[in-house]
């Protein structure tokens, strides 16, 4: 097992990074009931870990016995029947799923599948909890229609069912849904916290950490705990007695983006833009989210940029990311950003160096 | 009637070919001025038989010409047996006379073939200066003849004419004599007819112009195959296809010869063909009368053999049962279908958009056409022409469905039933048994848009012919001829401009001309826009759209003067072009894909930025429309393309590619996501619940690959590893198992071979099973990941496999223990396994081994490790796999396992252990037992 999984806190008591949040949650479920919850925060901050620990707190060890199943749902929409296959992870007390997997049919998932499950009261109501928990991941990727369908479900079946929603950005969740939940913000762990975690793992693994090593990894991880621990393990695997200046190997896709940035800085022409486009396609094909590409690209470009231009470039990056979210062909917008950058940069070069 | 129909074969095709090769000449001659008649006749005063007939015919106004025409026209299509022929000709005569003068008006003269070879006829094209055309003799020999550009040499016509005609007898190939004769006869006939029509025109036009006038389109529609304006190749192919039905439709046809001829036609020339064609030639040279007799005789003699062959012949319908003609309107698709079908002796039944075409109503109709053999002996078989098949989507599909059903039924039948080999009669009776009848008659479908969704399935089974525009000169020639006969004065330039404007739509041209004629207006080039010519609302292919967008039109000098005006016109035409096409999504993709390849001047990339910005706008708009379903907003899409066009369009021809990249990106993205998802589902839920595809790709993949290929692991026997290394290995295996990845045999890849360089090439290499490496495999990017050595991978595969089995059986035996309640048994077997074979233990995973060893040490009080090492010393590294593999395989199967456990449980094992001896009880032991 990777250390990420091995040292994942299983109970709320053991949570180290967001201990305050964990304590609050514990108090929350100590009472008989709890509201709907919405966890949001950047990836690698520990949302799911918290949710798992919370469920365990609620239902005890029984919640840890989970099984994975692919269920096919037949939904009658009047004119035709739609078949949706969804992977679900369920224990006797709760069900986890990712409704946005259904793509544009997510509305039906919410309307039918979730409703179906929410309706059924858990049979062994003699236990202390008279409700089951539905964990919905990636709520922010749900379509607007699906979110609208969700809000009624939340109210109607609140007697027998609690929803725990999990997403990266709460702004993509509609107001209506947000106001029906207790929002729990899980922020990215600070570098100090990451260092603490790394040191904790090091101690458990009987490793000898040289001074500053953990801090370096934490800095490299971009405040992403998962990444930090993975980096840590990578370092360990590659060379155990850690050297004083050892760093983890960079992520491949980030490396590739850096190459693209270098390409852009080298030459600004339609021809180069065409070459860049091919590389961007490569990234997109390999499931890298376009937002991440744009962000990383901006970061790489900013590194090499004259400070006068930074402000403007940031502005345009934001502009094109906004447009990208409005549209559906990400490549158009990333490319437009690259072209814009090239244009500005070239103008700058010409005006300063003639 | 069958005898009648099977005639038109070999000679006819040859005839057709020799004619068909010279279409340009035909028309040129047809509209050429007549004045050279005298010279022509004088020149033709040689030994040629044609001259005689000509001299006979030309003076005689109508009646003799009629007779000659009967003989002439009849011959090529089908020389029937004499009696029938007579009957027929009578019939025809009656037909002719019935409509009287009116019919004469409609009758357009058959084309006259004239080899305008100036003076050179050569076997080699290179010897001829200027344009030349190939002429193939009946025996397959081929010569090239120079083409005299008849239309241009105005005054000198008489001279050149003469020369050409003198040169004709010089033509060495006497074989062509027959065809020449017939041609000459036709020429004569044409002359006569033309004269008569002209005179009648001049007479009748002023008198009753309004009442009797027909549409020119109809009036001058081609009546015979050689008159067709459409592309010669297409014509020929259609005819060939129809001919292939002969054996099926006309049963008694002599297949062998026709095959020969067909192949000869395809090859154009062959020595093999010589013999048979020579024979043909002899028969031909005896004159038409003899020819008929011979043919009749031939068919009757052939009857015997054909009746033998009938069974197989009946199935000889062409492979593709349906012909699909497609092309823009007005090029003569319908005409071709009709003419060709008539030519081959079919009765044409047309179903077009004006008919009710729902499946239920159309099916009996089609069935009528397709299966019925008419009772009356002289009626022709039918040929179904479905016009405008792409037209209506909902109901029109009925026809397509019915035909498809029949074709499919045929396929099924021919594949399994013996009934299909019965002759036609037998089949008819068997047809009632089968629900779906077979397609027994040719079906020609006509459409404008080949890629209409309704035709998708038909396209796959049908023989498809695209119609291409005829050359403008060809159309103009025809138009000139018609104008001349109608007495409408035009200039060739105006006509060619008209043809160009209408994109060679002959129908539109003729309608325009007729209209103008009525109005007594002249056709002037400048006023096309204001004039009556209807502009077709045609959607172009998407490639054309891209080309139009990305290619700037060359400004002519006149247009340059009023640049603004022409620009506005450009925009208008672009707008209509794009909005007619409609498919904005693909349109934009194509523009995006291709515009960067243009070489527009853009030093500061401002144009590029603008283009991409506006493409972004288009994308957002598209998304918005998609979400809100406000389709009316789509009108704003064409301006996007127009803007880009204005910014970057260049004069030179763009090299346009189909936008594959975006599509490919989408599909591959889905594919990869799917792969990752399935992998995620394979993992143990405790781990997979914390993963998502994004987080895996973004955060985990790279470090993960580093982690599962630790450089510190040495590919040596396990027992040689130090404690720490063993720990690492255990952890690695554990990780791999919990993430459910393993190495798997793959085809040898170059990289892999390098990494396992010492391995002989026949040993397959191993790569990660869910191919995670693909995720970080960017084009042109060199990752730092180093795979493990092959030996190490093999060890890992083995260990992972074992670990999985242990996990499985652990779960299982736990269940069993709970059920049976005899935990003791399990523990005893554990102990035995620890003791029975030391070999087995060293093979097992170190973790389990530790546990076992502790157990055994606690029992025997002896440290087992050195002993094990001892016993294991001599063993080959690879030997172990060999032994263990089959066992693995066995234990993997659940059923076997279950049985084994039951067996074991039924016979608890008791034995005595003597240190230093091996007289322990011997018994077959499953590996699984040892692993526990």
Residue range A62-81: mean pLDDT, rounded: 79
The answer to which of A59-68, A252-261, B369-378 has the lowest mean pLDDT is: B369-378
At residue B562, does pLDDT exceed 80?
no
pLDDT in tens, A201-227: 989 888 888 888 888 888 888 888 888
Give chain A positions within 8 Å (CB) of B698. 43, 251, 253, 288-289, 292
* B453 and B341 part of one domain: yes
| Shortest CA gap B17–chain A (Å) | 52
| Residues B497 and B515 both lie in one domain | yes
Is B245 contained in some domain?
yes
Mean pLDDT of the A47-71 span:
84
- The pLDDT of residue B912 is 59
pLDDT of A176 higher than 80: yes
Looking at residue A294, its pLDDT comes to 93
Residue B435 has pLDDT above 60, yes or no: no
% of residues, chain B, pLDDT over 70: 45
DSSP state of B372: P
Counting DSSP H helices and E strands in chain A, the numbers are 15, 7
- Which DSSP category does A240 fall into? S
CB contact under 8 A, B616 and A332: yes
Q: Which of A277-281, B492-496, B659-663 has the highest mean pLDDT?
A: A277-281
Contact B458, B400 (CB under 8 A): yes
One domain for residues B742 and B787: yes
**pLDDT: is B1 or A122 the higher one?**
A122
Task: Output B423 or B456, whichever has higher pLDDT.
Answer: B456
Of B447, B466, B485, the one marking the end of a domain is: B466
The dihedral over CA atoms of A150, A154, A157, A158, expressed in degrees to the nearest 10, equals 170
Tell whether the model's pLDDT for residue B863 goes beyond 90: no
DSSP state letters, A291-312 = HHHHHHHHHHHHHTS-HHHHHH
pLDDT for A321 equals 92
Question: Has residue B670 got a pLDDT over 80?
Answer: yes
Whether residue B243 is contained in a domain is answered as: yes
Is the pLDDT assigned to residue B333 strictly greater than 60?
A: yes
Domain shared by B479 and B593, yes or no: no
Q: How confident is the model at residue A337 (pLDDT cuts 50, 70, 90)?
A: very high
With CA atoms as reference, the chain B residue closest to A68 would be B685
Co-location of B379 and B400 in the same domain? yes
Using the 3D structure, point to which of B607, B626, B658 is the last residue of a domain: B658
Q: Which ranges of B596-660 would DSSP assign to H, the alpha helix?
A: 606-628, 637-648
Look at residue B804 and tell me if it is in a domain.
yes
Question: Which whole number is the average pLDDT over A315-338?
Answer: 91
Q: What is the pLDDT of residues B190-241, one digit of tens each?
A: 777 666 555 444 444 444 444 456 777 777 777 777 777 777 777 888 888 8
Residue B413 in this model has a pLDDT that exceeds 70: no
Q: What is the number of alpha carbons within 13 Å of residue A34 lying toward its C-beta?
A: 27
| Residue B527, token pair as written in the block | 């006023």
B519 or A253, higher pLDDT: A253
Band of residue B896 on the pLDDT scale cut at 50, 70, 90: low
Mean pLDDT of the A122-149 span: 77
Q: Which residues pair with A88 in a beta bridge?
A: A69, A97
Tell me the pLDDT band of B698, cut-offs 50, 70 and 90.
confident
Tell whether B814 lies on the interface with A, counting CB pairs under 8 A: no
pLDDT (0 to 100) of residue B696: 82
Segment 120-179 of chain A within 8 Å of chain B by CB: 137-138
Tokens of B72: 């002439």
**Chain B contacts of A63, Cβ < 8 Å?**
none
Per-residue model confidence (pLDDT) at position B430: 39
Select the more confidently predicted residue: B433 or A229.
Answer: A229
Report A:44-103 residues touching B (Cβ under 8 A): 44, 48-49, 52, 64, 66-68, 70, 87, 89, 96, 98, 101
**Among A91-105, B175-189, B284-298, B381-395, the least confident range:** B284-298
Lowest mean pLDDT among B383-387, B412-416, B735-739: B412-416
Rounded to the nearest angstrom, the minimum Cα separation between A9 and chain B is: 12
Task: Enumerate the residues of chain A whose CB falls inside 8 A of the CB of residue B723.
Answer: none
Judged by a CB distance cut-off of 8 A, whether residue B600 touches chain A is yes
Average pLDDT of chain A?
85
Q: Is residue B398 scored above 90 in pLDDT?
A: no
Q: Which residue has the tokens 């406000």?
A: B630
Range of the domain at B358: 230-270+315-413+437-466
The confidence score (pLDDT) of residue A314 equals 94
Lowest mean pLDDT of A214-228, A282-296, B508-522, name the range.
Answer: B508-522
Residues of B in contact with A336 (CB under 8 A): 609, 612-613, 615-616
Residue B494 · residue B476 · CB < 8 Å? no
Please give the pLDDT value at position B411.
Answer: 65
Count of residues making up chain B: 932
Residue B447 lies in a domain: yes
* Together in a domain, B238 and B386: yes
The more confident residue out of A60 and B272 is: A60
Q: Does residue B837 fall inside a structural domain? A: no
Comparing A78-92, A272-286, B375-389, the range with the smallest average pLDDT is B375-389
Q: What is the mean pLDDT of residues B379-407?
A: 70
3-state secondary structure of A76: strand
Please report the DSSP string for B58-111 in residue order: TTS-SHHHHHHHHHHHHTTT----HHHHHHHHHHHHHHHHTTTHHHHHH-PPPP
Residues of B in contact with A98 (CB under 8 A): 692
Q: Which tens digits make up the pLDDT trace of B8-31?
A: 455 554 554 555 444 444 444 444
- Give residue A296's pLDDT band: very low, low, confident or very high (50, 70, 90): very high
Residues B599 and B619 in one domain: yes
Give A67→chain B minimum CA distance, Å. Answer: 6
Residue B654 has pLDDT above 60, yes or no: yes
Residues in chain B with CB shorter than 8 Å from the CB of A320 are 616
pLDDT at A105: 78
Residues B726 and B787 reside in one and the same domain: yes
B780 plus B682 within the same structural domain? yes
How many Å apart are CA B906 and CA A74, to the nearest integer? 47
Residue A21 has pLDDT above 70, yes or no: yes
Residue B709: its pLDDT value, please?
A: 79
Give pLDDT, residue B293: 40
Dihedral through CA A199, CA A201, CA A206, CA A210, nearest 10?
Answer: -30
Look at A332 and B592 and tell me if their CB atoms are within 8 Å.
yes
Which pLDDT value is given to residue B769?
75
- CATH code for position B520: 1.10.8
CA distance A217 to B874: 46
Q: What's the average model confidence in pLDDT over B628-640?
A: 87
Q: Do A273 and B608 touch (CB under 8 A)?
A: yes
Please tell me what DSSP assigns to residue A209: P
User: Tell me, what's the pLDDT at B297?
Assistant: 44
Element (H, E) at A71: strand A67-76
Dihedral angle over CA of B100, B101, B102, B103, nearest 10: 70
- Helix, strand, or coil (residue B230): coil
Scan for tokens 């925009």, then name that residue. B571
Whether residues B633 and B648 share a domain: the answer is yes
Residues B459 and B345 in one domain: yes
Which residue is associated with the tokens 């191993």? B766
Task: Compute the distance between CA of residue B588 and CA of residue B67 in angstroms, rounded to an integer.
Answer: 64
Does residue B390 surpass a pLDDT of 60? yes
CATH of the domain at B637: 1.20.272.10
pLDDT at B686: 78
**Best CA proximity match to B467, nearest among B442, B480, B449:** B449
B 635-674: CB under 8 A from A:
661-662, 664-665, 668-669, 672-673
Question: Residue B607 domain-assigned?
Answer: yes
- What 3-state class would DSSP assign to B772? helix
Look up the CATH number of the domain holding residue B336: 3.40.50.300
Neighbours of A175 (CB within 10 A): 10
- Residue B840 within a domain: no
Q: Which chain A residue has its CA at the smallest distance from B691's CA?
A: A48
* pLDDT of B673 strictly over 50: yes
Most confident of A337-341, B783-787, B878-882: A337-341
Residue A250 contacts B where some CB pair is shorter than 8 Å:
yes
Higher-pLDDT residue of B145, A196 = A196
B695:A43 CB<8 A: yes
Mean pLDDT taken over chain B: 64
pLDDT greater than 70 at residue B152:
no
Maximum mean pLDDT: which of B28-32, B245-249, B703-707, B844-848: B703-707
First to last CA, chain A: 58
Is B306 among the domain residues? Answer: no
Least confident of A105-109, A285-289, B252-256: B252-256
* pLDDT interval class at B908 (50, 70, 90): low
Write the pLDDT tens digit of every residue in B615-627: 999 999 998 998 8
DSSP codes joined into one string, B832-877: HHHHH-HHHHHHS-HHHHHHHHHHHHHHH-S-HHHHHHHHHTT--T
Q: Lowest mean pLDDT: which of A195-204, B671-680, B849-858?
A: B849-858
Number of domains comprising chain B: 4
Region B515-520: mean pLDDT is 76
Contact flag B699-A226 (C-beta cutoff 8 Å): yes
Closest by alpha carbon to B46, among B128, B154, B165?
A: B165
Confidence class for position A293, pLDDT limits 50, 70, 90: very high
- Of the ranges B12-16, B501-505, B604-608, which is most confident? B604-608
Which stretch of B151-165, B523-537, B902-916 has the lowest confidence by average pLDDT?
B151-165
Instruction: Indicate whether B424 pLDDT > 60.
Output: no
Do B639 and B697 fall into the same domain? no
Instruction: Give residues with Cβ within 8 angstroms of B568, minimum separation 6.
Output: none
State the smallest CA–CA distance between residue A15 and chain B in angstroms: 16
The rounded distance, in Å, linking the Cα atoms of B385 and B442 is 9
Structure tokens at B78: 């089908």
Of residues B579, B683, B596, the one with CA closest to residue B641: B579
Which of B658, B683, B714 marks a domain boundary?
B658
The model's confidence at residue B121, banded by pLDDT at 50, 70 and 90, is low
Contacts of B694 in chain A (CB under 8 A): 43, 287, 289
């Amino acid at each position: 097992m990777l250390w990420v999984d091995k040292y994942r806190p299983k109970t709320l008591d053991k949570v180290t990074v967001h201990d305050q949040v964990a304590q609050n949650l514990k108090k929350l479920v100590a009472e008989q009931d709890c509201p709907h919850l919405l966890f949001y925060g950047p990836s690698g901050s520990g949302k799911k870990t918290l949710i798992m620990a919370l469920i365990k707190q609620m239902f005890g060890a029984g919640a840890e016995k989970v099984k994975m199943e692919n269920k096919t749902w037949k939904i009658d929409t009047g004119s035709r029947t739609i078949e949706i296959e969804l992977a679900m992870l369920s224990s006797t007390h709760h069900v986890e799923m990712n409704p946005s997997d259904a793509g544009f049919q997510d509305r039906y998932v919410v309307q039918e599948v979730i409703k179906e499950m929410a309706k059924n009261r858990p049979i062994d109501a003699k236990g202390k909890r008279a409700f089951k928990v539905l964990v919905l991941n990636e709520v922010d990727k749900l379509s607007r229609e699906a979110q609208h369908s969700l809000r009624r479900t939340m109210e109607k079946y609140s007697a027998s069912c609690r929803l725990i929603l999990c997403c990266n950005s709460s702004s993509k969740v509609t107001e209506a849904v947000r106001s029906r939940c207790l929002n729990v913000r899980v922020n990215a762990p600070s570098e100090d916290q990451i260092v603490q975690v790394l040191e904790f793992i090091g101690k458990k693994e009987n490793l000898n950490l040289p001074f500053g090593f953990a801090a370096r990894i934490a800095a490299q991880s971009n405040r992403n705990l998962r990444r930090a621990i993975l980096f840590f393990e990578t370092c360990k695997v590659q060379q155990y007695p850690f050297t004083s200046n050892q760093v983890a190997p960079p992520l491949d896709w980030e490396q590739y983006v850096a190459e693209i940035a270098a390409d852009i800085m080298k030459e600004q022409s339609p021809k180069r833009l065409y070459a860049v486009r091919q590389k961007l396609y490569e990234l997109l094909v390999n499931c890298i989210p376009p937002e991440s590409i744009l962000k990383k690209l901006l970061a790489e470009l900013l590194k090499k940029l004259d400070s006068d231009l930074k402000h403007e470039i940031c502005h345009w990056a934001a502009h094109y990311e906004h447009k990208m979210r409005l549209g559906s062909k990400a490549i158009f917008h990333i490319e437009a950003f690259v072209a814009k950058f090239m244009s500005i940069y070239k103008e700058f070069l010409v005006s300063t160096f003639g | 009637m069958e005898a009648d129909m099977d005639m038109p074969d070999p000679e006819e095709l040859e005839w057709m070919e020799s004619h068909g090769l010279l279409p340009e000449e035909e028309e040129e001659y047809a509209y050429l001025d007549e004045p050279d008649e005298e010279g022509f006749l004088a020149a033709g005063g040689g030994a040629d038989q044609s001259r005689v007939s000509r001299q006979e015919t030309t003076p005689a106004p109508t009646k003799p010409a009629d007779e000659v025409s009967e003989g002439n026209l009849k011959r090529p299509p089908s020389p029937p047996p004499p009696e029938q022929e007579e009957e027929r000709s009578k019939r025809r005569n009656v037909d002719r006379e019935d409509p009287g003068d009116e019919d004469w008006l409609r009758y357009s003269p058959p084309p006259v073939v004239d080899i305008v070879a100036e003076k050179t006829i050569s076997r080699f094209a290179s010897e001829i200066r200027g344009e030349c055309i190939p002429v193939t003799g009946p025996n397959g020999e081929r010569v090239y003849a120079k083409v005299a550009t008849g239309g241009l040499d105005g005054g000198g016509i008489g001279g050149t004419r003469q020369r050409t005609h003198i040169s004709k007898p010089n033509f060495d190939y006497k074989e062509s004599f027959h065809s020449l004769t017939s041609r000459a006869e036709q020429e004569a006939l044409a002359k006569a007819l033309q004269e008569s029509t002209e005179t009648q025109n001049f007479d009748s036009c002023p008198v009753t112009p309004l009442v009797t006038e027909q549409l020119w389109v109809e009036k001058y529609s081609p009546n015979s195959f050689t008159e067709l304006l459409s592309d010669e190749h297409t014509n020929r192919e259609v005819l060939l296809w129809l001919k292939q039905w002969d054996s099926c439709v006309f049963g008694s046809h002599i297949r062998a010869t026709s095959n020969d001829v067909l192949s000869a036609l395809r090859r154009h020339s062959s020595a093999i063909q010589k013999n048979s064609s020579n024979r043909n030639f002899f028969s031909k040279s005896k004159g038409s009368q003899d020819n008929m007799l011979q043919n009749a005789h031939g068919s009757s003699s052939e009857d015997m053999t054909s009746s033998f062959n009938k069974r197989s012949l009946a199935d000889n319908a062409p492979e593709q049962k349906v012909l699909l003609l497609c092309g823009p309107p007005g090029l003569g698709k319908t005409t071709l279908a009709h003419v060709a079908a008539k030519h081959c002796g079919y009765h044409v039944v047309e179903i077009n958009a004006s008919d009710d075409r729902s499946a239920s109503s159309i099916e009996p109709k089609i069935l009528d056409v397709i299966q019925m053999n008419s009772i009356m002996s002289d009626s022709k078989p039918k040929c179904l022409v479905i016009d405008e098949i792409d037209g209506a989507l909902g109901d029109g599909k009925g026809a397509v469905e019915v035909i498809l059903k029949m074709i499919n039924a045929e396929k099924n039948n021919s594949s399994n039933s013996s009934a299909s080999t019965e002759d036609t009669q037998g089949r008819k009776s068997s047809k009632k048994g089968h629900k779906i009848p077979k397609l027994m008659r040719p079906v020609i479908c006509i459409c404008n848009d080949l890629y209409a969704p309704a035709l998708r399935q038909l396209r796959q089974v049908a023989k498809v012919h695209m119609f291409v525009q005829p050359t403008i000169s060809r159309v103009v020639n025809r138009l000139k001829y018609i104008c001349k006969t109608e007495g409408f004065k035009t200039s060739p330039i105006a006509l060619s401009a008209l043809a160009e404007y209408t994109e060679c739509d002959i129908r539109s041209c003729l309608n325009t001309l007729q209209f103008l004629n009525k109005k007594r207006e002249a056709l002037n080039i400048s006023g096309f826009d204001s004039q009556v010519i209807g502009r077709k609302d045609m959607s172009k292919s998407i490639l054309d759209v891209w080309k139009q967008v990305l290619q700037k039109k060359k400004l002519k000098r006149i247009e340059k003067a009023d640049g603004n005006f022409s620009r506005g016109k450009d925009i208008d035409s672009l707008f209509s072009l794009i909005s007619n096409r409609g498919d904005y999504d693909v349109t934009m993709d194509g523009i995006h894909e291709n515009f960067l390849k243009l070489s527009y001047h853009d030093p500061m990339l401002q144009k590029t930025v603008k283009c991409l910005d506006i493409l972004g706008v288009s994308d957002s708009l598209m998304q918005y429309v998609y979400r809100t379903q406000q389709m009316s907003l789509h009108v704003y899409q064409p301006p996007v393309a127009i803007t880009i066009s204005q910014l970057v369009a260049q004069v030179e021809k763009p090299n346009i590619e189909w936008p594959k990249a975006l599509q490919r990106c989408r599909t591959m993205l889905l594919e990869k996501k799917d792969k990752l998802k399935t992998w995620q589902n394979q993992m143990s839920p405790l781990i997979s619940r914390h993963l998502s595809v994004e987080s895996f790709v973004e955060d985990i993949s790279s470090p993960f690959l580093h982690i599962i290929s630790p450089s510190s692991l040495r590919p040596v026997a396990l027992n040689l590893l130090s404690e720490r290394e063993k720990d690492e290995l255990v952890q690695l295996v554990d990780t791999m198992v919990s993430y459910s990845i393993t190495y798997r045999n793959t085809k040898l890849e170059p990289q892999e071979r390098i990494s396992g360089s010492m391995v002989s090439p026949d040993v397959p290499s191993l790569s990660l099973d869910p191919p995670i490496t693909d995720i970080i495999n960017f084009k042109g990017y060199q990752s730092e990941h180093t795979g493990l050595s092959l030996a190490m991978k093999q060890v890992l595969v083995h260990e992972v496999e074992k670990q999985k089995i242990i996990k499985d059986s652990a779960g299982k035996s736990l269940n069993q223990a709970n059920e049976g309640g005899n935990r003791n048994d399990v523990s005893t077997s554990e102990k035995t396994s620890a003791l029975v074979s030391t070999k087995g233990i060293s093979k097992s995973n170190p973790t389990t081994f530790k546990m076992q060893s502790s157990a055994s040490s606690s029992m025997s009080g002896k440290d087992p490790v050195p002993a094990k090492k001892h016993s294991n010393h001599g063993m080959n590294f690879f030997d172990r796999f060999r032994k263990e593999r089959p066992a693995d395989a066995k234990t993997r199967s659940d059923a076997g396992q279950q049985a084994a456990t039951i067996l074991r449980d039924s016979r608890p094992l008791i034995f005595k252990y003597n240190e230093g001896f091996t007289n322990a009880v011997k018994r077959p032991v499953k590996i699984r037992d040892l692993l526990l």
